[in-house]
Amino acid sequence: MTEDNLFQTFLTIILAPVLIVTVLVALPPAQVRATTSQPGSPEFAQLWRPLVLTTYLYLPIVFKPLLDFINGNFEQGRNVGWTESTKSKCGSNPCPLVVNQFPSGVAAHGGSWAAWLGGANNETSELSQAVDIGNSTGLSLSYYHRVESREVSCNFDYAYLQINGNEVTGTRIGLCDRYEKGWEQKVVSLSGYSGLLSFKFVVKTDGSVNSNYFVDDVSIIAP
């Protein structure tokens, strides 16, 4: 190594989740005018500068995973995020559950699309999606629902929510004219749940009198 080169020593210490880099640097020699008057002495002499110790602190960039439904507002249309299941046939194919056309007097809660379950006799409609909430705490499920039914009794047609195959207490609602109140928000605590959760909206109807259940703007919310 020549005197004109930088002399550098790097000491790297990793203390998760912080990266500390300490650099020990000898700066290039400085030139000063010589004071000697001896014959043949150089006009300039070199002096080494002192060592400089510098520490750099690098903080990591933390990306928080998105804990929410894909296409929770249904505005991306069908076959995005959601799995549909129905007994009803529209021609030779199962009728769609995620739609942008509704019965007279009904519109989506937000935007143009929503889920329409029921709407036929002896029907079972299911709309499902899985979301991984990890170990997050204090989360809740929020969704908007609406009932449109000609049933007078609330004991024959009904809707409810399942999580991991189990009906969630407090989510069952009879599909009858008593509950025709327009769009209402429902909030379900996810306390006690963790990891990958399978959410499923289920509607079952009997053999007479039409009942419909609409769902829109499904999301995971934090306090």
pLDDT digits (tens, 9 = 90+) for 166-210: 999 999 999 999 999 999 999 999 999 999 999 999 999 999 999
Residues 218 and 138: their CA atoms lie apart, in Å, by 17
User: What global pTM score does this model have?
Assistant: 0.71
Taking residue 190's Cβ as centre, other Cβ atoms within 10 Å add up to 21
**What are the tens digits of pLDDT across the range 87-137?**
999 999 999 999 999 999 999 999 999 999 999 999 999 999 999 999 999
Residues 6+ away with beta carbon under 8 Å from 99: 113, 114, 115, 116
CATH superfamily of 83-221: Galactose-binding domain-like (2.60.120.260)
- How far is the first Cα of the chain from the last one, in angstroms, to the nearest whole number? 62
Cis peptide before 39 (omega within 30 of 0): no
143: burial class by Cβ within 10 Å (0-12, 13-18, 19+)? Answer: buried
Tokens 């908007």 label which residue?
144
Contact status, residue 94 vs residue 124, Cβ threshold 8 Å: no
Residues 95 and 186: their CA atoms lie apart, in Å, by 26
Taking residue 191's Cβ as centre, other Cβ atoms within 10 Å add up to 9
- More confident of the two residues 111 and 58: 111
| Residue 159, pLDDT score | 98
Domain ranges of the chain: 7-58, 83-221
Tokens of 33: 């005018």
Task: Grade residue 62 by pLDDT with cuts at 50, 70 and 90.
Answer: very low
Rounded to whole angstroms, what are the CA distances from 162 to 29, 35, 108, 175? 75, 91, 23, 17
